[in-house]
Structure 1
């Protein structure tokens, strides 16, 4: 079978680096553990765990812009508590669920137009990379949340991400799978108090 994936480049060759807990990927938090017990069981394969976690974060946690929510969330437990966040925040939650289950999970980025034309600006978009031991390879998944014109799916045959990069418009797909979320994205979440204003005017454009 031909797999239609970008050639991905892990930042670290040590998979343990993709399992570490942090202040924002805080999978030991009681709320994360409580929901994880409902999502996962010992009979599931790593592929099944990734699919379940991906679909939960994609479908049960709203993207702030889609619901025009002003709340800014950042840490995995806060995203789960309020069930909303932008892609930077939702990727923290997905990483927390999967790292807590022993699935190596990293952070990937795209530079995209914020809206529909270059003159309206660009921003970084965050998605996740996961290592499937059963297949011995990395795959990217994007739990941003589906809406009209956006249909991200869990797929092992070809990437079905939220956005297709338009290189003619100076958009960029970064191949690196980072062990931790980008400092600029986390600093942005921590520095802002209104998600709509943040989304329109304060998202970082470059790594």
Structure 2
């Protein structure tokens, strides 16, 4: 379980801005589940999705996403995971494989939080017309429901670290909007 509490270069849970933000959120909602909900709502609502606001900056590490106030779903999942870990709540990354509308696929990033020994997937992507997410410990309220007939899937596993191929793709660009538009996101795990 220590791996799901660890800090690294992407899920930089010990970065001062991350620990300060997590502590502030915990002060407002001291219970573990209430804190997890507050961290989710902060990430979903206060940090914008890069595609929704046309922000091309590549933000990968949780602290980068927090500093810029924007990121793709992956960056937002990294931030939520780091905020949870900063306050001692086990969290990891999980993925969906979704169709890109051009005959290919891309990975959609989610966060899984462990509460009372159970993993719960959360989607901090951010709401927009046609997409609504919510923190839930019963029915998942994710942005997307994969369509198996289209080759889409909820990929198995909760990972302590983000997929290295995805991180490499995100780090390889200075324009995430172009990366997404040109099919530069991986369609499967490395």
Same fold (TM over 0.5): yes
Q: Which has the greater radius of gyration? A: 1
* SS state at 2:67 partner: helix
Aligned with residue 124 of structure 1, among 85, 97, 107: 107
Question: Which residue pairs with 1:4 in the alignment?
Answer: none
Q: Can you give the 5+ residue segments of structure 2 that lack an aligned partner in the other structure?
A: none
**TM, length-normalised to structure 2:** 0.94
Question: Which residue pairs with 1:11 in the alignment?
Answer: none
Question: Is 2:154 aligned against 1:166?
Answer: no
Q: CA deviation at 1:166?
A: 0.7
Measure, in 2, the Cα distance between the counterparts of 1:96 and 1:174.
21
Deviation track 1:36-89 (CA, whole Å, cap 9, x = no partner) reads 232112962211111000000001111110111111111111100000010111
Q: Can you give the 5+ residue segments of structure 1 that lack an aligned partner in the other structure?
A: 1-14
- Alpha-carbon spacing, 1:66–1:33, altered in 2? closer, same or farther (3 Å): same
Question: Which residue pairs with 1:196 in the alignment?
Answer: 177
Residue correspondence of structure 1 range 142-161 to structure 2 within 5 A: 142-161=123-142
Question: Could you say which structure has the greater relative contact order, defined with CA pairs below 8 angstroms and 6 or more residues apart?
Answer: 1
**TM, length-normalised to structure 1:** 0.87
Question: Which residue pairs with 2:157 in the alignment?
Answer: 176
Two-structure CA RMSD over aligned residues (Å)? 1.4
Question: Which residue pairs with 2:4 in the alignment?
Answer: 18
Question: Which residue pairs with 1:77 in the alignment?
Answer: 63
- Alpha-carbon spacing, 1:43–1:195, altered in 2? closer, same or farther (3 Å): closer
Aligned with residue 35 of structure 1, among 6, 11, 21: 21
